[in-house]
């Protein structure tokens, strides 16, 4: 593929979201020759024609620790994170894992990496992941509507082109949902739909240990001027459109920089950000 994508597949239990994501992985492996790192093992043989030799394809196990460290092996790859909400729960947004993963998704394009993730409910996924999505794909197994169909035979999908990468116009401006049918039978056997993971692993906590750089309101010395470009670069990668001072302090803190509100105000102004009052009397920073 010539671009980086974030695809979020959602749907109820047995709705076909995992199969939908696996099928996309299979297409990327066969058609684009991409490496897939997956929590769900994907293994299959494919023949281009009846007389052609079978080619073996197999995904690699996803190592979350290596992913957070931006290991070079993930460059130009697909990461398939099944049931991502169990790791990146929306109500645990303050944890180190959520923060690091949010930053990682922001940098996906620069890493030439794509992320496919599933969740029963998108609202359960950390907001920093959701706002980076290129498409939300709701999945429903038509077996439950038409009982003569076997499970996984036909998956009904509703796609919202959030970023506009697929249709040229983002969902926010069109409000259009695109429907399509996935015929799953040819892909049965390529993965183990009953594969589970260590639930305790999903609850593991992460902690970042690194040196801290401090910026104060009196910081007109070299430490301030040297950090200004670093802070501007980090703020340009902030997810979202408006931020409170506490949001920026937290974001910089995760990157080893501590700054008080006055220092932040000076640097944000120099970086081209406006300090604006919003409803309720609070002040937020926005890009000019």
Cβ contact 155:181 at 8 Å: yes
C-alpha pair distances (Å), 144 with each of 33, 71, 193, 249: 35, 42, 17, 49
CATH code: domain of residue 221: 1.10.10.10
Which pLDDT band holds residue 209 (cuts at 50, 70, 90)?
A: low
Which of 203, 228, 258 corresponds to the end of one domain? 203
pLDDT of residue 159: 96
Q: Are 34 and 92 contained in the same domain?
A: yes
> How many other C-beta atoms can be found within 10 angstroms of the C-beta atom of residue 234?
18
Q: What's the domain count of the chain?
A: 2
Which of 203, 222, 246 corresponds to the end of one domain? 203
pLDDT of residue 281: 66
Question: Using CB atoms within 10 A of its CB, is residue 202 exposed (0-12), middle (13-18) or buried (19+)?
Answer: middle
CATH code: domain of residue 133: 3.40.50.300
Which pLDDT band holds residue 78 (cuts at 50, 70, 90)?
A: very high
Q: Is residue 1 part of a domain?
A: no
Cβ contact 186:152 at 8 Å: no
- pLDDT tens digits along 79-103: 998 888 777 654 444 454 555 555 5
pLDDT of residue 94: 47
Q: Are 220 and 255 contained in the same domain?
A: yes
Q: What's the mean pLDDT when you consider all of the chain?
A: 80
Which pLDDT band holds residue 242 (cuts at 50, 70, 90)?
A: confident
CA atoms within 13 A on the CB side of 190: 27
Which of 153, 178, 203 corresponds to the end of one domain? 203
Instruction: Name the residue range of residue 236's domain.
Output: 213-287
Q: Helix, strand or coil for residue 253?
A: helix
The more confidently predicted of residues 247 and 217 is 247
Q: Are 136 and 217 contained in the same domain?
A: no
Buried b or exposed e, range 273-287, using 16+ CB within 10 angstroms: beeeeeeeeeebbee
pLDDT of residue 128: 73
Cβ contact 40:190 at 8 Å: no
Q: Are 73 and 91 contained in the same domain?
A: yes
Question: Using CB atoms within 10 A of its CB, is residue 145 exposed (0-12), middle (13-18) or buried (19+)?
Answer: exposed
Q: Is residue 208 part of a domain?
A: no
Q: How far apart are the first and last CA of the chain?
A: 33
pLDDT of residue 92: 46
Q: Are 168 and 282 contained in the same domain?
A: no
Q: Are 91 and 187 contained in the same domain?
A: yes
Taking Cα atoms as reference points, which of 80, 95, 86, 67 lies closest to residue 34?
A: 80
């Amino acid at each position: 593929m010539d671009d980086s994508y974030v695809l979020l597949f959602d749907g109820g239990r047995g709705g076909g979201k995992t199969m939908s994501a696996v099928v996309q992985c299979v297409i990327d492996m066969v058609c684009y020759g991409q490496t897939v790192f997956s929590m769900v093992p994907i293994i299959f043989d494919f023949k281009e024609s009846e007389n052609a030799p079978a080619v073996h394809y197999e995904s690699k196990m996803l190592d979350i620790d290596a992913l957070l460290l931006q290991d070079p092996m993930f460059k130009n790859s697909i990461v398939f994170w099944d049931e991502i909400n169990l790791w990146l729960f929306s109500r645990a947004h303050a944890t180190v894992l959520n923060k690091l993963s949010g930053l990682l998704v922001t940098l996906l394009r620069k890493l030439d990496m794509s992320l496919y993730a599933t969740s029963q409910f998108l609202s359960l996924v950390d907001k920093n992941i959701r706002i980076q999505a290129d498409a939300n794909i709701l999945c429903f197994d038509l077996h439950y509507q038409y009982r003569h169909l076997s499970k996984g035979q036909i998956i009904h999908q509703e796609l919202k082109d959030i970023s506009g990468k697929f249709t040229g116009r983002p969902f926010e401006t069109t409000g259009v949902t695109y429907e399509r049918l996935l015929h799953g039978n040819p892909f049965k056997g390529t993965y183990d739909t009953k594969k589970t993971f260590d639930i305790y692993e999903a609850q593991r906590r992460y902690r970042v240990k690194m040196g801290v750089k401090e910026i104060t309101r009196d910081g007109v010395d070299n430490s301030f001027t040297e950090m200004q470009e670093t802070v501007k670069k980090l703020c340009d990668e902030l997810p979202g459109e408006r931020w409170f001072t506490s949001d920026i302090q937290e974001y910089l803190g995760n990157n080893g920089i501590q700054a008080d509100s006055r220092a932040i105000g000076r640097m944000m102004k120099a970086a081209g950000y406006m300090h604006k009052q919003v409803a309720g009397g609070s002040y937020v920073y926005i890009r000019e």
